[in-house]
Structure 1
Amino acid sequence: MKVVRLRNDPWEWKYTAIFSEKFNGEITNASDISQLDHFIYAAKFNPIFPTLIILSLTYLLILSGYLLLRKDTKKVTIFLLSLVAIYVLFGIVVTDSPTIGGRYFTVTFLTIGAINLVAAVLLSIREKNGGLICES
């Protein structure tokens, strides 16, 4: 199987090396391409590891937010709802991508958003019920 890399694919630079073009101007050599553009290229065509990176970063973000805000469940709920908005927005942005990575990331972002929404709703219900998720 042939390994295709962004550096070896000059016609792809126009579509994938967006950040390098914004920071450095026109891309003339493969050495002008930033690491962020390599991540985007990998996410487009070989999305397994970039998806794992996004999931790990999301876990760290949620854990950090919880640890910083755990004394006030209302703030944790607002934090989770803001993450819902961000991840749903990311999911909508990558929805139109024709690549397999775009489809993976759309599903990943929308799933993370849905999980955060459920967590925020459960926390809100628990706060209203005085610590219980369901009344019996």
Structure 2
Amino acid sequence: MFKFFFQLGVAMMILLFSTFVSWYEGSAIIDHPWEWEYSTPFTQLNGEIQNGNQISQLDYFVYAAKFHPTFPLVMLISFLYLLILVSFQVLNTKHFIYFLSFVAASLFFLSYLVSNSSTIGGNVFFYFSMLTGIVCIATTICMKFLGSKRETTA
């Protein structure tokens, strides 16, 4: 149980740190008005942007993911790790396989969303989500057909 809580704590600290750094890096969008049209999907839900103070905090993450993808990628990795770690601990094998399949489908959807991106961050997120989705599917296949040492209690 110590290993679980240690991993949980480390992953949460990495997630918090990478979230803060991504938010900081993304705040640079305020100084780049030519990007407002292309990198502010959340703010544009409320209408046209007149000045940088109107930009949603969520759009900072979009901008950071597009142009400074390192910490947003670390953020995604730590979030997925936390999600899978907790679900592996809580769910039985059958439900974990379903959950992992859902995670894979979500990653494939993410890769579809960023597949036409012309930015370095879009390409990084495309390949990462596609590869991670494939790994999740391969893991579910191995767990389903090769068996698992965990007991299934439905």
Query: TM bucket by the smaller chain?
Result: 0.7 to 0.9
Deviation at 1:84, TM superposition (A): 0.9
- The structure 1 residue matched to 2:121, chosen from 101, 121, 124, is 101
Q: Which structure has the larger Rg over C-alpha atoms? A: 1
> Which stretches of structure 1, 4 residues or more, deviate above 4 A after TM superposition?
none
- The structure 2 residue matched to 1:119, chosen from 139, 143, 152, is 139
Query: What amino acid sits opposite 2:49 in the alignment?
Result: I
- Correspondences of 1:2-41 after superposition (within 5 Å): 5-22=28-45, 24-41=46-63
Identity %: 36
CA distance in 2, matches of 1:85, 1:122: 17
Q: What CA deviation, in whole Å up to 9, does each residue of 1:96-134 have, x standing for no partner?
A: 00011111000110111011112111111243xx749xx
Give the aligned length: 125
Structure 2: tracts of 5 or more residues without a match: 1-24
Structure 1: tracts of 5 or more residues without a match: none
CA distance in 2, matches of 1:68, 1:20: 37
CA distance in 1, matches of 2:87, 2:149: 20
Deviation at 1:12, TM superposition (A): 0.9
> Please, what TM-score do these two structures have when normalized by structure 1?
0.84
> Please, what TM-score do these two structures have when normalized by structure 2?
0.75
Aligned to 1:54: 76
